[in-house]
Chains A and B, each alone.
Chain A
Amino acid sequence: GAGVSQSPRYKVAKRGRDVALRCDSISGHVTLYWYRQTLGQGSEVLTYSQSDAQRDKSGRPSGRFSAERPERSVSTLKIQRTEQGDSAVYLCASSGQRWDDYGYTFGSGTRLTVV
């Protein structure tokens, strides 16, 4: 397809369990973000990877978040030992490398609820 797709659309996880969220980005795009939106805390970047399939830059809030990119257009966000504060919408976004292509295309997100 032409867009970024994420799966699953909704995920419920028991506290303490690990979860994996998938993103299929646009073929040819080299930069990929995982981004979290919560009502109380706004938006924050979790991981960011560029070009190198295996490299990711884990951001806040802790090392519980990591991203793997087994193929350039596929990324999996892994959350270890989920906490209730991880309940949020997780967005994947990708972009190309041209200077005028720095806008990101977002998926519709995965809504994670930790119970």
Chain B
Amino acid sequence: QKEVEQDPGPLSVPEGAIVSLNCTYSNSAFQYFMWYRQYSRKGPELLMYTYSSGNKEDGRFTAQVDKSSKYISLFIRDSQPSDSATYLCAINTNAGKSTFGDGTTLTVKP
């Protein structure tokens, strides 16, 4: 079993929809939770970062962490075609080593 499991997708939604991207993890030592966005032919770029249970909001994006369930989510409100990309969750231990999910490819149709 992988340490980080990500809903595989792909996801296709109409413009304006709310998108939910999800990962589960198994290692209780994980403390830092990140979401990366990767456009085609580009490397991933850090989108959001959090280290506590609860919600963190940044514009149309909300990262949610539930440590008791070992479950993290990224919500995108009012999705736009420019949000079409692959989204990767990544989780760190205190030592800084990241474990990545396999990614979910999102397409937002105009």
| Cβ contacts under 8 Å, B66 to chain A | none
- What class of interface size applies to chain A in its complex with B? 20 to 34
Cβ contact within 8 Å between B43 and A106: yes
Tell me the chain A residues, 69-115 only, with Cβ under 8 Å from chain B: 91, 93, 95, 97, 99-100, 102-109
**Mind listing 27 A-B residue pairs with CB under 8 Å?**
A4-B43, A31-B96, A31-B97, A33-B98, A37-B103, A42-B101, A43-B88, A43-B102, A43-B103, A45-B100, A48-B97, A50-B97, A91-B44, A93-B43, A93-B44, A95-B96, A99-B32, A99-B94, A102-B34, A102-B92, A102-B98, A103-B34, A104-B36, A106-B36, A106-B45, A108-B42, A108-B43
| 3 pairs of A and B residues whose beta carbons are closest in the complex | A42-B102, A106-B43, A103-B46
* A interface with B by C-beta (< 8 Å): 4, 31, 33, 35, 37, 41-43, 45, 48, 50, 91, 93, 95, 97, 99-100, 102-109
